[in-house]
Amino acid sequence: MKSHPLTIFFRMIRTGGKNFLRNAWLSIAATAVMVVALTIILSAIVLNVTAHNAIKELSKDFKVSIYLKDDVTAAQRAPLEKALKANPATASVEYVSIETAKARFSDSFQSDQKLLEGLSLVGGNSLPASFEVSTTDVDKITQIGDTAKKAEFKSIVDSVTLGKTDAKKTIDRAASARRFIVNASIFSALLFAGVSVLIIFNTIRMAIFTRSNEIEIMKLIGATPNYIRGPFLVEASMYGIIAGLLANSAVYAAILSLGSKVSSQAEFSATYTFFTDPKTVLMMLGGAILAGVLVAVISSSLAMEKYLRLKKW
Amino acid sequence: MILLDRVTKIYNKKEAALERISLHVEPKEFVIVVGTSGAGKSTLLKLLTREEKPTTGKIIVGGIDYDKLKDRDIPMLRRKIGVVFQDFKLLDGKNVFDNVAFALEIVGMNSREIKHTVPKVLDIVGLADKARSYPPELSGGERQRVAIARAVVRQPKILIADEPTGNLDPKNAWDVIRVLEKINKYGTTVLLTTHNVEIVNALKRRVITIKDGHVASDEANAGYKLA
């Protein structure tokens, strides 16, 4: 008698699909809880990326200014520049000469003629030369300041300014909110994933009881354990696939409706572009489905292990 | 075809359900096993289908030594043995055709072959016109014939029928027995357990009588001896 593995495979999928529809209410409950769990996980990812990009954008303008004393030569400032670049927290170092500083000041205050006239009256040396240092990590910005304050540079460094205090506070608050979002999301996702596992476990247990007569007959007439397990795994995987699709749709509906309103702001434009990229859309969808199927397969396997009794024939 | 060598089965430590049973059934034989309730008939059949393992002794069926049989091989063993149960074990939600096809689906036969094979077997058991009926719409005898069709559709070398006439009136019981005889004529070894004195006496086949877990008698062309 010829056995066709593909026929068996499609038969298991068909039976699993039928079981999914047969236990419609239980299937809906199991899928709904998983939709909640996956939506929380996906939302956490979106919020985390949004916060990360916003902080990065805010940090761009947050620089350490190291003002040099008058008449410091290129040879004298070279060791300081080298030390600043060697600092792991340093992203970039820019030397701003007196002329450049004056030009930038003029650009910034073009409309304030009185201020510019006052500056020309005071003389050329009113704005000092400086190093503008940007950082890779706002939390480590003081390290850069400390480098400049070392005794060996005392003869050339006039003063050190660590950006604007209010900007630092905003960044700190954003970072703290991001940490809270991540922790709360992990906790909620774990909680709902646990609830999902329990509900799917119970759904599959009910399905096993409903089909106990059929399973007994299958065992007696020579069905393999995998043939008996297959439809239950298919049924559970369907919860995961549908939940993944719904959760992803819900999160993307939020991204598109809210994101389009704030995407013009510098803090959010990169995030919006990232999440609307087709590659990201597919990755989020694939990840959600994979996570859903994984949770479903684990919980249904536990139920089958306990209630199918496939070890005793 | 079937060999049992000093087989003992003890469920609890007090009493043996079967004790040192030795049997040999030749290919194409029709053997009737009789015995009172609790004599050990069902245990004997469960040992043959490997629903139970013997406590001691050796069982060889169709060349398969059960001592060497691993759990993962049991489905393959059961595909080689057709079993008919007293309570039919049919699926009420599937029609006659699908109940029989079920045995072919689990081994991976494709739909085209199933559609070709099932009607032939339904014809053998006399149910060609009931293919679309559901078990609750059938008489007891018809249901049992569906169960026989399912048991033989894979053309097993051995058919085990565990009191298939137990729930049937005489007419239906004889319908089932005639089908079993027909299948035996096609070359399948049949092992039938029954309480029905009339059937045993009329068939005049080899009769093995089990009493208190022992083989009390084993005679060819015999009748019912318990009384």
Does residue A141 fall inside a structural domain? yes
Q: Are residues A259 and A135 part of one domain?
A: no
Residues of the domain holding A85: 63-163
Q: Are residues A102 and A245 part of one domain?
A: no
Pairwise CA distance, residues A109 & A115, whole Å: 8
- Of residues B85, B108, B154, nearest to A4 (C-beta): B108
Contact predicate B33/B193, CB 8 Å = yes
Extract the residue ranges of chain B whose pLDDT is less than 50: 227
CB contact under 8 A, A223 and B106: yes
Q: What is the pLDDT of residue A167?
A: 63
Chain B contacts to A (CB-CB under 8 A): 49-51, 71-72, 74-79, 83, 85, 89, 91, 102-111, 113, 150-151, 154-155
CATH number for the domain that contains residue A127: 3.30.70.3040
**Band (A121; pLDDT cuts 50, 70, 90):** low
Q: Final residue of a domain: which of A163, A179, A195?
A: A163
Contacts of B157 (CB under 8 A, 6+ apart): B1, B27, B62, B80, B81, B188, B189
Give the mutation candidate from A6, A215, A217 for the B interface (greatest B CB count, under 10 A): A217
Q: Are residues A151 and A68 part of one domain?
A: yes
pLDDT: is B23 or A264 the higher one? B23
Residue with tokens 């939020």: A254
pLDDT in tens, A131-189: 988 887 777 778 888 888 888 888 899 888 876 555 667 777 777 877 887 888 888 88
Does residue A313 fall inside a structural domain? no
Q: Are residues A287 and A239 part of one domain?
A: yes
- Whether the CB of A106 is below 8 Å from some CB of chain B: the reply is no
How far apart are the two ends of chain B, measured CA to CA in Å? 30
CB contact under 8 A, B107 and A213: no
Residue B19 sits at the vertex; the CA angle it makes with B15 and B23, to the nearest 5 degrees, is: 155
Number of structural domains chain A divides into? 2
- Of residues A5, A216, A222, nearest to B78 (C-beta): A222
CB contact under 8 A, B91 and A223: no
Q: Are residues A179 and A32 part of one domain?
A: yes
Q: Are residues A126 and A158 part of one domain?
A: yes
Q: Can you tell me the ipTM of this complex?
A: 0.87
Q: What is the longest distance spanned by two Cα atoms in chain B?
A: 53
CB contact under 8 A, B79 and A221: yes
Any bridge partners for residue B8, and if so which?
Answer: B56
Q: Coil, strand, or helix at residue A237?
A: helix
- Whether the CB of A4 is below 8 Å from some CB of chain B: the reply is yes
Residue A265 sits at the vertex; the CA angle it makes with A186 and A261, to the nearest 5 degrees, is: 75
CB contact under 8 A, A7 and B108: yes
Q: Final residue of a domain: which of A163, A191, A216?
A: A163
Q: Are residues A254 and A110 part of one domain?
A: no
Min Cα–Cα distance to chain A from B53, Å: 10
Does residue A312 fall inside a structural domain? no
DSSP string for A158-200: EEEEES-HHHHHHHHHHHHHHHHHHHHHHHHHHHHHHHHHHHH
Q: Which residues of A touch B99 (CB under 8 A)?
A: none
CB contact under 8 A, B75 and A223: yes
Q: Final residue of a domain: which of A129, A163, A197?
A: A163
Pairwise CA distance, residues B1 & B125, whole Å: 24
Q: Are residues A33 and A130 part of one domain?
A: no
CB contact under 8 A, A224 and B75: yes
Min Cα–Cα distance to chain A from B154, Å: 8
pTM: 0.74
Pairwise CA distance, residues B174 & B199, whole Å: 8
A162: nearest Cα among A145, A138, A137:
A145
Q: Are residues A107 and A251 part of one domain?
A: no
Q: What is the pLDDT of residue A179?
A: 82
Q: What is the pLDDT of residue A165?
A: 53
Q: Are residues A266 and A117 part of one domain?
A: no
Q: Are residues A224 and A86 part of one domain?
A: no
Q: What is the pLDDT of residue A168?
A: 67
pLDDT: is A211 or A116 the higher one? A211
Pairwise CA distance, residues B129 & B132, whole Å: 8
Residue A7 has pLDDT above 60, yes or no: yes
Does residue A183 fall inside a structural domain? yes
Residue A29 has pLDDT above 60, yes or no: yes
Pairwise CA distance, residues B214 & B216, whole Å: 6
Q: What is the CATH number of domain B2-89+156-219?
A: 3.40.50.300
Q: Are residues A231 and A89 part of one domain?
A: no
- Whether the CB of A227 is below 8 Å from some CB of chain B: the reply is yes
- Whether the CB of A123 is below 8 Å from some CB of chain B: the reply is no
Does residue A87 fall inside a structural domain? yes
Q: Which residues of B touch A11 (CB under 8 A)?
A: 105, 108
Fill in the amino acid letter for A293: V
Q: What is the longest distance spanned by two Cα atoms in chain A?
A: 105
pLDDT in tens, B128-146: 999 999 999 999 999 999 9
- Whether the CB of A224 is below 8 Å from some CB of chain B: the reply is yes
CB contact under 8 A, A217 and B155: no
Taking residues A288-309, what's their average pLDDT? 91
